[in-house]
Structures are given as structure tokens and as C-alpha cells.
Amino acid sequence: MNAIIKLATNPLIKGFTTNPTLMRNAGVDDYEAFALEVLSEIKDRPVSFEVFSDDLDEMAKQGHKIASWGDNVYVKIPITNTKGVSTVPIVKSLSDAGVK
């Protein structure tokens, strides 16, 4: 978190992205709490958070929930789940609903 706050002072940094695997490897055990902490500090630039479910319906639910965290939030959806099933319909549905 401290690294993100420090980088946020650099005007060349235009936004931030995360993913559950990197956050877990960094010792983050509560992805939502971490995300909300990041968003409390980063309000003027886009921040991307990825869904962590492999279930398509749950991905859609998580996408809506993540989007609700802030106006500067962008939701990342993998193009397929781990079984190779396309998530394009979910991406379209979320996009149609105004999720960035």
C-alpha cells in the first residue's frame, strides 16, 4: 500500500492495476479491504481490480460489486475462465450496465 501511495505522487503515473494473485503474493488476505484502502488514497486516477471467481455467474456479481467501490474503478475480467469458457458475454453484460 505504501508503494502505491508513493507512486501516486508521480504525475507520470496515470493509473493503477491489481490482480488477486499479485495481491495474495504480497500478503493481502482481504482483497476488498485492500481495494477500499487504495481507493481512499487514490481518487483522481483510474484503479483496476480483477474479479477472483472462476464461476461465470459469480464473476458477473463480483464485477458489479467491484464497480460499486468508486467512480474511478475499472473491473478486469479474464477473457476465459480456467476451464477455457469465454467470458465475453459477461464483459458485454457488465459494459451494457455501465461497468467500466
Counting Cα atoms < 13 Å in the Cβ hemisphere of 98 gives 5
Q: pLDDT digit string (tens) for 48-90? A: 999 999 999 999 999 999 999 999 999 999 999 999 999 999 9
Catalytic residue among 76, 83, 92, 100: 76
Catalytic annotation present for 76: yes
Per-residue H/E/C for 37-83 = HHHHHCCCCCEEEECCCCCHHHHHHHHHHHHCCCCCEEEECCCECCC
pLDDT of residue 5: 86
- Smallest CA-to-CA distance from 75 within 86, 60, 89, 85 is with 60
Domains of the chain, by residue range, sit at: 13-96
pLDDT, average across residues 23-44: 91
More confident of the two residues 99 and 8: 99
User: pTM of the full predicted structure?
Assistant: 0.89
pLDDT of residue 20: 85
Look up residue 42 and give its three cell numbers: 487514490
Residue 51 has φ and ψ, to the nearest 5°, of -65, 155
| CATH of the domain spanning 13-96, picked from 3.30.70.260, 3.90.100.10, 3.40.50.2000, 3.20.20.70 | 3.20.20.70
Check whether 22 has a pLDDT greater than 90.
no
